[in-house]
Structures are given as C-alpha cells and as structure tokens.
A and B are shown apart, each in its own frame.
Chain A
Amino acid sequence: MLSIVKIFVVIAAGLVMASGIWVAAVLLRTLTINRPNPNQNPPTET
C-alpha cells in the first residue's frame, strides 16, 4: 500500500514536470515563430 503511494508521488511529480516542459516548448515556439506583418499585403499567387 505504502509503496504504491511512493510510486504515485514520484509519477505525479514527473507528470507535473513533463507538463511544465511541454508548455514551455510550445511557448518558445509561439514566441519565436515568424509572424506575418499585419500591415503588409498578403503575397499574391502567381
């Protein structure tokens, strides 16, 4: 019973850290992505 609690706590800590890393990765991608300038006309197809 107690060893289950021990494993659960370690897994929970791992999951929380993994969530933090996932959100950080998406945040980094969101902030570094090249966004089109809204004042610029969209490129025309040729």
Chain B
Amino acid sequence: MNTTLPVVVVIVYVLLLTLVALRARAAREFKDFSIAGRSLPLALVFGSLAATYIGPAFSIGFVGKGFSSGFLFWGIGLAYAAQNILVGIFIAPRLRALEGCHTLGDAVGQKYDRTCQILAGVISVGVCVGLAAVMAKAGGDVIKNLCANLAVAMGSAGHEMLGNLFDFPQWSAVVIVVGITALYTTFGGLKTSVVTDAFHFAVFAVLLPATLIWILLFHPNPGITTFTKEVANTTSAGLSSTSIVQIIGLLTAFLLGETLIPPYANRALASKTTAVSRNGFMLAGFFSIAWFAVMIALGITARTVIFGEPNEDDVLFLLIEATMPKLAYTVLFIVLLSVIMSSLDSLLNAGAVVFTQDIVKPFVKLSDNITLNIGRCATIIIAIIACAGTITVKSIVSGLLVCYTIWAPAVLPALIIGLWIKRPHPLAGILSMGVGTIVAVVFKFVYPLNVPAILPALAAGLLAYALGHWMEKTKFGA
C-alpha cells in the first residue's frame, strides 16, 4: 500500500479541524461559552444534535446489529426518533422560552428551588463524566487502531523507524484524542463545539452513505439483488431470537435513556428562537430514521462478504477492508474519529457548564470573567477524569447503558413534570431525583433484575414525585 496517501489524509483532516475550530473563535463571555450567545441557527442545532447522538453505538454498534438481526434494530431505533420528535414538540421550546437559563439545572432551579438545581447539577456532571469516559475509551481504540494500521503499512514499505513512531500504548491514544478535543472545547466553549460538530457531521453523513451506495452498486458481491434476500433472512432470524420482554426493555432504553441529557439541553437553550429549538430536535429525530436505515443496511451487506460469526463491533471494519480500496480504511478511521470527537466535545462542554452554573454559582457570586475561567478549568478537569475513568469502562455499550439507567429516572420525572404543571413543589423534585438515582444504582449494581433497571427506577422516581407533591400540597405533618 502507498504509505504517503493515508498520512496525507490524516494531516489534511487535522488541519481542516484546526481551521474550523480557530474560525469559530474563542468565547469572550460565559454566555458564549455555555449557550453560544443564544444565536445558533437551525442547520447548526440540527447538525450538532445529530453529531452528538451519533456516537460509536449508533454507528459501529448499529452496523453490527444489522449484521446479526437485520432491520429489527431499525424498528427499535424508531423509539429514539420518536423521543427526539416528542422533545422537539413538547419540551425544547418550553426550555428555550425560560429566561436566563444556561443549563437544565437552571430550569429545575427556576421551577423548584436552589437545592433541586444543585442536585440536578451533581447528577448531570456525573452522567457527563461517565459518558465522556466511554467516548474517551472508544476514541483511544480508534486512534490506536489507526496508528497500528499506519505502522504496519510503513513497516511493510520499509520505513520501520517511522512506523515505530505510530506504535504506542492505549493510554497515550486516549490522551491524544481527549487532549485535542479538550483543547478546542476549553477555549471556544459551546460555539466551537457546535461548529466542529457540524464539520464532523458533514464528514460522516456524506462518507458512510456514500460507502453503502458504492458497495451496493459497484461491488460484485453482495450486489443489490443479494442484499434484498439477506434483508428478509436476517430480520426474521433477529425477530425469532429476541423475546418480547427484551424488545420492551430496549424500546424503553431507546425512548428515555438519552432524553435531554445535558449536551442536548444546552443545544435547546442555545437555539436562536423557540421555533429553531423545536425544529432542530424534530429534524434530528426524522434524520435518525434514515441514519439507522443506512447503518443497518451496511450491516446486512456485510453478511454476503464476511463469513462466520465475527464480533459485532468488528463488522464495519471487516466490511470496509473486504470491499473498499485500501485508502478507504484510513478514511473510515477518520470518520469514526469524527463520530467520537463530536460526542466527546459536547459532553466536556456540557459537564463544565453544568458544574460552573449549577454547583459553583449557587454558592459564590462571581464576575463573568472568573465564571468563564472556572468553566474552562472545569473542561480540563472533566477531560482528565474521563481519561482516568476509561480504566473502569468494560465495553462501550455497557458503559452507555449505566449512564442511561441513572439519567432517565433521576432527572426526567422532575424536569418534565416541572415544565408542565403550574406550581411544582421542591420536596417532590428532591424526592424524585434522590429516589430515582438510588433505585437505579441499587438495581443496576447491587441487585440486578431480569428486567432493565431503568423500569423500576423510573416507576420509583415517579411515585416519589407524587408522594412529595401530595405531602406539600396537603401540608402533611406540618
């Protein structure tokens, strides 16, 4: 393989990313850092939302699911699309309409009280750090594989000394990907995060579907006729091997697990108008229907190229290796790096903003300049914790499921009910967040059940909310 071209592709990509990040300019005020001055247009809100939710699970993971169970996971993914569309219609415009809100915690604080804001802030930072650790691990894996690939190519071309430069351990790969992402997020804040997300989105939204069309049209095996046969075979096999309870659990996790996690809420709050906020979420929801179909279709095409039972996470790599020119393998790593960095930068920024706004600011009165600097320091600290946290991440999907299981029961009942009822009571918010978190942790780690922990935890959070609301309304015990 020609070794120059892959290295040139990587260098061009890094230069373009740097150029885009520099053009987005550094944040001058905390309002720029946290909500991009509330100036984001529709295309950037949509592109950034889609780039944030499309992480390794919705790309590599879905291709693997397409390989093993056909269009079954496309049907389950519809729950995720429905979630985005419902948030767009009912919640995002209401969030955007709240004055002076930088975070979800702010919204909770406005509807309940300061204690609820701090509690929501602590849970949000925890979830952002957890998700960032998962993305850091995925990014480290991709960088390590990319560099190992370049090292082998250089070694076989006789440039062993140069190839050895690319052969480094996993922890260095994690530090490189998190370091680059933290660098532009620290200085630019949300605006840079959103602009670079749009860049990443443009890269993978063009290249991955183009790969599918290229394989279907020009590769002799699978070809378009074989593909249609495989759709029926794999989907019926997937349906017969998945129980109804499993499908219900998956539908619930896809419907609620990621609802309004801090990076999404930041984009709702940073939209130019309430209409942009609503339409951005709805478009992102409709887009996911098409995206999942493309990923599943890539997985199904792989069935006629890859034989045996490979690891689901390897299917995309094996498919590209078997069907595309050698250079495409390097481009695939660039695409995956885009997928991961666009999620990671959003999580670092959201965690830092939440920490500053919901945990520090309620206790200390600060000037705007100091607040901005605290936000920047928090970005770096969260990045360091995420790097260290990669040791605890067993697999990407299991790491994501832990975060979703805690997020939905802990925050969603208090937030959604608080936005809709006239006089939400602080006790209801505190009880719901506290009980939801504890029950989720207990059933996820201490006493695992046969049903997903998100279900009992959500029920407990809702019951605790109802109890708190009733106690304050009736002045019970007063």
**A and B found bound together:** yes
Report A's interface with B, CB cutoff 8 A: 2-3, 5-6, 8-17, 19-27, 30-31, 38
Does B441 reach chain A (CB closer than 8 Å)? no
Known: A26-B198, A27-B44, A27-B202. A16 touches B291 (CB 8 A): yes
**Complex-state Cα separation, A23 to B289, whole angstroms:** 18
B205 touches A20 (CB 8 A): yes
Choose among A3, A10, A14, A23 the residue that contacts B201 (Cβ–Cβ < 8 A).
A23
* Binding site secondary structure of chain A: helix
Segment touching A, from B137-145, B170-178, B226-234:
B226-234
**Complex-state Cα separation, A6 to B232, whole angstroms:** 12
Choose among B20, B204, B297 the residue that contacts A9 (Cβ–Cβ < 8 A).
B297
A16 touches B287 (CB 8 A): yes
Query: In the complex, what residues of B have CB within 8 A of residue A16's CB?
Result: 205, 208-209, 287, 290-291, 294
Interface code B40-80, partner A: CB below 8 Å = 1, 0 otherwise?
A: 01011011001000000000000000000001000000000
Known: A2-B228, A27-B195. A17 touches B206 (CB 8 A): yes
Does B23 reach chain A (CB closer than 8 Å)? yes
Pick from A2, A9, A20, A24 the residue with the most CB of B within 10 Å. A9
B224 touches A6 (CB 8 A): yes
What number of A-B contacts does a CB cutoff of 8 Å give?
A: 96
B228 touches A5 (CB 8 A): yes
Interface code B258-300, partner A: CB below 8 Å = 1, 0 otherwise?
A: 0000000000000000000000000000010111011001000
Chain B, residue nearest A28 (CB):
B202
Does B213 reach chain A (CB closer than 8 Å)? yes
Does B210 reach chain A (CB closer than 8 Å)? yes
Can you name 13 A-B pairs with beta carbons within 8 Å?
A: A5-B71, A6-B224, A13-B209, A13-B212, A14-B209, A16-B209, A16-B287, A16-B291, A17-B205, A24-B198, A26-B198, A27-B199, A31-B20
Pick from A15, A22, A23, A25 the residue with the most CB of B within 10 Å. A23
B219 nearest CB across to chain A (Å): 15
**Complex-state Cα separation, A3 to B92, whole angstroms:** 38
A38 touches B28 (CB 8 A): yes
Choose among A2, A8, A9, A23 the residue that contacts B43 (Cβ–Cβ < 8 A).
A23
Q: A2-B232, A16-B205, A26-B44 are in contact. List 5 more A-B contacts (CB 8 A).
A: A11-B290, A12-B290, A16-B287, A27-B198, A31-B195
A24 touches B202 (CB 8 A): yes
**Complex-state Cα separation, A14 to B210, whole angstroms:** 9
Q: Chain B interface residue count: which class?
A: 35 or more
Chain A, residue nearest B51 (CB):
A23
Query: In the complex, what residues of B have CB within 8 A of residue A8's CB?
Result: 293
Does B24 reach chain A (CB closer than 8 Å)? yes
Query: In the complex, what residues of A have CB within 8 A of residue B208's CB?
Result: 16
CB-contacts of B178-213 with A (<8 A): 195, 198-199, 201-206, 208-210, 212-213
Known: A16-B287, A16-B291, A23-B201. A30 touches B206 (CB 8 A): no
**Complex-state Cα separation, A25 to B201, whole angstroms:** 12
B46 touches A23 (CB 8 A): yes
A23 touches B47 (CB 8 A): yes
**Complex-state Cα separation, A41 to B294, whole angstroms:** 50
A9 touches B201 (CB 8 A): no
**Complex-state Cα separation, A8 to B297, whole angstroms:** 10
Query: In the complex, what residues of A have CB within 8 A of residue B201's CB?
Result: 20, 23
A23 touches B228 (CB 8 A): no
Query: In the complex, what residues of B have CB within 8 A of residue A9's CB?
Result: 212, 293-294, 297
Chain B, residue nearest A5 (CB):
B231
Query: In the complex, what residues of A have CB within 8 A of residue B228's CB?
Result: 2-3, 5-6
A23 touches B290 (CB 8 A): no
Query: In the complex, what residues of A have CB within 8 A of residue B203's CB?
Result: 20
B24 touches A31 (CB 8 A): yes
A21 nearest CB across to chain B (Å): 7
Chain B, residue nearest A23 (CB):
B47
**Complex-state Cα separation, A31 to B205, whole angstroms:** 20
**Complex-state Cα separation, A46 to B418, whole angstroms:** 51
**Complex-state Cα separation, A17 to B202, whole angstroms:** 8
